[in-house]
Amino acid sequence: MDERRREFLEDLLETPSPSGFETDGQRVWIDYVERFADEIEVDAYGNAIAVHEGSGDGPEIAVTGHADEIGFIVRDVLEDGYLRIASVGGADRTVSKGQHVTIHADEPVQGVIGQTAIHLRNGGEEEYEDVSAQFVDVGADDEEEAHELVEVGDPVTFSTTLRELAGDRLAARGMDNRTGTWCAAETLRRVSEADVDATVYAVSTVQEEIGLQGARMVGHGLDPDAFLAVDVTHATDTPGVEAKRRGPVELGEGPVVTRGSVNHPVLVDLARESADDAGIDVQLQAAGTRTGTDADAFYTSRSGIPSLIVSIPNRYMHTPVEVIDTADLTDVPDLLAAVAEAAGEYDEFAVDV
């Protein structure tokens, strides 16, 4: 990954973007893609769509990622100056206590999610409190002082930042799914430079973590021939994963193409063939019912739009220390650009019945 692309990834990961508060992160994404996009549109809730206008002879392909991350929101300010919080998306109550957090008020406010010291807890009676029972300490002595800093409804995120691990591994919060929006932008850059015949939309959606809401908006307004959603999926190659939950997905073994349910079989075949032609190793994953990604909303949009989820293996999802391999990451836009280039060979994406 060259310096410019790495800087873009770091900017995305370092910019807080909890569901419902994605504006700053979307600004980073738009500032990057406007260099090569033919046009950019942003809707009322902040979904961003950038386009490469093809020759008119190719299909229309949308490559998407979601901009939002999980987090918390200030629910109440207590008399003694502590803050009660609620979850934004699937926040994990088992990893939140004892963490540094940032409250995104008019000016950022630093705090910690309190954890009673081990010396003061009753041994053998450990349990994980719901997020609603946890509290943030910003150092305020009372409610009045706390209110000078924050107010109800301010979003909260973990304060962890990007860290390099051994080899090509990176750790950060928000890999889910700033890596997907990075891939959407990078795919658009590559197809623009190659001037492919297909019209390609790069889409950065909002509010995926709270019910695929941005994808529903985009699926209503945009009518491409196919949606290619990019998200993370569970790498199950760590000791903490039970054997019954272990799948074939490993870090560093390539992007993941999912088969079944939402995933249109013609797009699955196109992705696998494009990967073979480009010399890209891919892993396969099964989805018997749903994928839990924006693709679930896209494929039932309008009268049904062929959709596919392509995933980046990710360890420790929905924690402050998600881990990916950049080799997997950079292979995704290579794969999707190859798909866009080969898509012109298809008259339509439809099953043969």
Q: What are the backbone angles phi and psi of residue 349, rounded to the nearest 5°?
A: -100, 95
- 209 marked ligand binding residue: yes
Candidates 41, 44, 11, 45; CA nearest to 29 is 11
Report the chain's terminal Cα–Cα distance, integer Å: 43
- 66 marked ligand binding residue: yes
Q: For residue 40, is it left (φ>0), alpha (ψ between -120 and 50) or beta? A: beta
- 176 marked ligand binding residue: yes
Secondary structure (DSSP) of 177-201: HHHHHHHHHHHHHHHHHHT-SSEEE
What is the token pair recorded at 176? Answer: 């889910």
Helix (H) or strand (E) holding 94: helix 93-96
Catalytically annotated residue among 208, 253, 273, 348:
208
Contact between 335 and 282 under an 8 Å Cβ cutoff? The reply is yes
- 142 marked ligand binding residue: no
**126 annotated active-site:** no
Helix (H) or strand (E) holding 254: none
Q: How many angstroms separate the CA atoms of 63 and 340, rounded?
A: 9
Q: How many angstroms separate the CA atoms of 314 and 296, rounded?
A: 20
Residues designated catalytic: 208
Instruction: Output the known binding site.
Output: 66, 176, 209, 231, 318
